[in-house]
Amino acid sequence: MAERECGFAPLVFRLHGGAPQVVREVLLERGWEEYDEEEQEQEEGDWNLYWRSSGFRKSDYENILPWQRLNHHPKMSQITRKDCLARHMRRMKIAFGTALYDFSPAAFILPNEYTKFLGVYTRNRTTDRAKSRYWICKPVDLSRGRGIFLFEDIKNLVYNSSVIVQRYISNPLLISGYKFDLRIYVCVKSFSPLVIYMHQEGLVRFATEKYTLASLDSLYSHLTNTSINKFGMCYAMDKERVGRGCKWTMSRFRSFLHKQDVNELLLWHRISNIVTLTLLTAVPCVPSSPNCLELLGFDILIDASYKPWLLEVNYSPALSLDCPADVTVKKGLINDIIDLMNYRMIDSFRQKGYCRKRSGSRYLRPKISQGFLLPKTLHAPPSGNKNWNQSVSGSSSSQDTRNNTGYATCPVHPNSKSIGHEKDPQKFEEINDEVGSDDLKLTTFNSTRQSHRNTPSTACKLPSLRVHKLKSPAIPWNRVTQDRGVPPCRVGDFILTFPFNEATWKASQDQADVKAIVNEVHKLTNRLASSFNEKERTKMESSQSIGIRDKFEPLLWGPKDPPLLSKCCSLNSEVK
């Protein structure tokens, strides 16, 4: 990939077939370039981000280089396959009790557990003759609502592949008679240590026909999948309160929730707990892989008593832009994911940058002029009462490479591949570069390619009959120390939800202490729940330094303006 004439090389992305178009659009808007798979002179490994909808091969993880990022962790099927998730939930209920893991409906994997399901079904029919029990059947490895059906009588249970039968939540919270669920976007930046971010914006997905148990065959009233409801007769109709289509943004849902008689903060925290406790089930199974992150779609149903339930966890959640709500949510989501990847200026030079860094070569750095800004990697969490609701964006700065806004400046026009200064190059000052492990620094190479200039003009070289691609270079780097810095509490609209204090940060290192983490989550939940009691709240405010107020200043995910978690106790008393 050629460097720009001012000496700054653009970041390069590589998309696998089937990757969402919105990813390409956002990256091109940010000034990235696309990796050309067919270019003969393209060096293998000469890219910064490889995005796939499907999983990567084992060799992709083993050969990843320090300037590269992958958009999947290995073995994520442990929680994204419905049967695997059901097994893990059952294991955690046995280990830590059903009181903590009460957010997952009872589930059975068929055909293996048919006898067990039959026993539970028969017992329910015998003991609760007056109360109907409903079940939902889903293929274990399909998505977008394919193959799903509901039943009350077991004689209607017919399947020809591995399925999961789950207790159907028959009393969902309704908006003007329509069922809905929440699509929560979660980014797992690392599994060792475990680092979880939840996005402030998400989608509320509606069924397009009014909810009724009288007709279990009506998928348009029971399922909220857009892939199903967009074919319904009522999809384009202006439905009461819901409007046209079948989606709201999370911001619109917050406005609705604010008018209800419910403790919003506690509801948001319970949803956050569901995400953390679910991901904890996968920690022992997912190997540590540096420079990877995972975007997951958690589907959460809220019942009539405002209790949140986990329906499923989606691998590579849909990023198609089908309606205005999609555009609003998903473009911002992709931008924030890129900011979470912690690219440094040296990463834009890929193999050349790290080879120079290794050899201790001297770099040429252009004197900085005003230009566009790149967010630096944040390490320290917010402190005091600063407002952390700002996205990771900024304005132009002075000539220093790091300014008081916390951004590195690059003198390249983002919309121009060539700024026409080849004959009149910028003045460069020579520096001895020592690139820090996590900072953004402006380290550039001389954009004039000396090797090409030294080639005699009369030389003639026939094209090779074979295309020789360079093997991925062996760049020594310490994979163990990756992602070991204290994560920022907010990046754009991504809110850090785990770890939330020093105890959970320490317990998630290396071999994660799941028991200690679960205990911390349980303690925090009890503290928030008991804050409605004035005596308990006073007692807790005097001891907030235990478990919450340390070097972490975590925010509560969910509210429009996320408050500090340490202040939620006093805020809760004002909500009711």
Indicate the domain borders of the chain. Answer: 106-168, 501-575
Q: Establish whether the linkage from the previous residue to 425 is cis, with ω within 30° of 0.
A: no
The pLDDT tens digits for 158-187 are 999 999 999 999 999 999 999 999 999 999
Beta bridge partners of 496: 197
**At residue 72, what are phi and psi to the nearest 5 degrees?**
-140, 145
Task: Please state the rounded mean pLDDT for residues 442-467.
Answer: 38
The pLDDT of residue 474: 53
Return the ∠ at Cα 278 (arms to 272 and 281), rounded to 5°.
145
Instruction: Give the C-alpha separation, 329 to 39, whole Å.
Output: 34
How far, CA to CA in Å, does 384 sit from each of 257, 421, 445, 549, 560? 29, 46, 40, 11, 20
Here the tokens at position 219 are 């998928």
Range scoring the smallest mean pLDDT among 413-422, 474-483, 563-572: 413-422
Indicate if the pLDDT at residue 123 is higher than 60.
yes
DSSP letter string, 438-459 = S-----B--SS-HHHHTS-TT-
Q: Which has more pLDDT, 3 or 65?
A: 65
Task: Please state the rounded mean pLDDT for residues 136-141.
Answer: 93
pLDDT-derived band of residue 551, with 50, 70 and 90 as boundaries? low
Task: Please state the rounded mean pLDDT for residues 250-259.
Answer: 92
User: Sign of dihedral through CA atoms 358, 359, 360, 364?
Assistant: negative
Indicate if the pLDDT at residue 60 is higher than 50.
yes
Instruction: Give the C-alpha separation, 354 to 360, whole Å.
Output: 10
Here the tokens at position 139 are 């293929």
The pLDDT of residue 531: 65
Instruction: Give the C-alpha separation, 563 to 385, whole Å.
Output: 10
The pLDDT of residue 358: 54
Single out the residue of 32, 68, 30 nearest to residue 50, CA to CA: 68
The three-class DSSP label of residue 64 is coil
Q: Which has more pLDDT, 26 or 426?
A: 26
Task: Please state the rounded mean pLDDT for residues 94-104.
Answer: 92
How far, CA to CA in Å, does 19 sit from each of 55, 141, 318, 319, 328? 12, 20, 10, 9, 19
Indicate if the pLDDT at residue 458 is higher than 60.
no
Place of tokens 């800004």: 373
Cβ-proximal residues to 555 (8 Å cutoff; 6+ apart), any chain? 388, 489, 490, 495, 496, 562, 563, 564, 565
How far, CA to CA in Å, does 137 sit from each of 59, 75, 158, 313? 36, 25, 9, 16
Place of tokens 């121009």: 416
Single out the residue of 448, 443, 349 nearest to residue 46, CA to CA: 349
Task: Say if residue 332 is exposed, middle or buried (CB neighbours under 10 Å; 0-12, 13-18, 19+).
Answer: middle
Residue 36: CB atoms within 10 Å: 14
Indicate if the pLDDT at residue 532 is higher than 50.
no
The pLDDT tens digits for 420-453 are 334 343 333 333 334 344 344 333 333 333 333 3
Here the tokens at position 321 are 């832009």
The pLDDT of residue 425: 38
Residue range 106-168 in CATH 3.30.1490: yes
pLDDT-derived band of residue 483, with 50, 70 and 90 as boundaries? low
Place of tokens 């132009």: 396
Indicate if the pLDDT at residue 207 is higher than 50.
yes
CB–CB of 376/438 below 8 Å? no
User: Sign of dihedral through CA atoms 113, 76, 300, 26?
Assistant: negative
CB–CB of 435/441 below 8 Å? yes
Here the tokens at position 121 are 């079904």
The pLDDT of residue 203: 97
Single out the residue of 232, 308, 318 nearest to residue 276, CA to CA: 308
CA dihedral of 97, 102, 104, 110, whole degrees rounded to 10: 50
Average pLDDT, the chain: 77
Range scoring the smallest mean pLDDT among 239-243, 322-326, 344-348: 344-348
State the DSSP code for 401. Answer: S
Q: For the whole prediction, is pTM greater than 0.85? A: no
Q: Which has more pLDDT, 558 or 400?
A: 558
CB–CB of 242/176 below 8 Å? yes
